[in-house]
């Protein structure tokens, strides 16, 4: 599981914690900025699915996934590695999904 958090989410959580203390908004904002900026940013991992006949494998964590369940996934659900080269598959699956929704709407009107 991925333990990374967006800076905005971290800032919000810090702000919620700081509301327990009675302090001015300026001091609270400075505390949030100081805290958030002290957290080092993590460069996301990037890779490309390793394809096998029945499954695909994450190059980072080596976990296998069945191809049929990972058609639209551009990230490894185990470690969060962003997979490159899936943009075309994503667009194709989005078009297919859109066509299916349009067909469903047309059939519901009959």
Residues 26 and 54 in one domain: no
Render pLDDT for 20-57 as a digit per residue (tens, 0 to 9). Answer: 777 777 877 787 787 777 777 777 788 888 988 888 89
Q: Which domain holds residue 94?
A: 46-108
Contact criterion met (CB below 8 Å) for 32 and 11:
yes
Q: Is there a domain that residue 1 lies in? A: no
Same domain (yes/no): 66, 86: yes
- Confidence at residue 91, expressed as pLDDT on a 0 to 100 scale: 67
* Whether the predicted model's global pTM rises above the 0.75 cut: no
Task: Say if residue 60 is in the same domain as residue 83.
Answer: yes
In this structure, are 64 and 93 located in the same domain? Answer: yes
**Are 29 and 65 contained in the same domain?**
no
pLDDT tens by residue, 46-93: 888 898 888 889 999 999 988 777 666 788 888 888 888 766 666 666
Q: Sign of the CA dihedral 97, 2, 60, 81? A: positive
């Amino acid at each position: 599981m991925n333990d990374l958090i967006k800076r905005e989410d971290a800032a919000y959580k810090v702000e919620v914690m700081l509301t327990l203390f009675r302090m001015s908004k300026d001091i609270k904002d400075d505390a949030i900025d100081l805290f958030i900026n002290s957290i080092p940013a993590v460069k996301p991992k990037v890779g490309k699915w390793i394809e096998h006949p029945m499954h695909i494998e994450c190059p980072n964590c080596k976990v296998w996934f069945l191809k049929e369940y990972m058609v639209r996934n551009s990230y490894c659900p185990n470690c969060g590695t962003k997979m490159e080269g899936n943009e075309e598959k994503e667009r194709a699956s989005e078009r297919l999904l859109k066509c299916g929704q349009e067909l469903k709407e047309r059939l519901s009107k009959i």
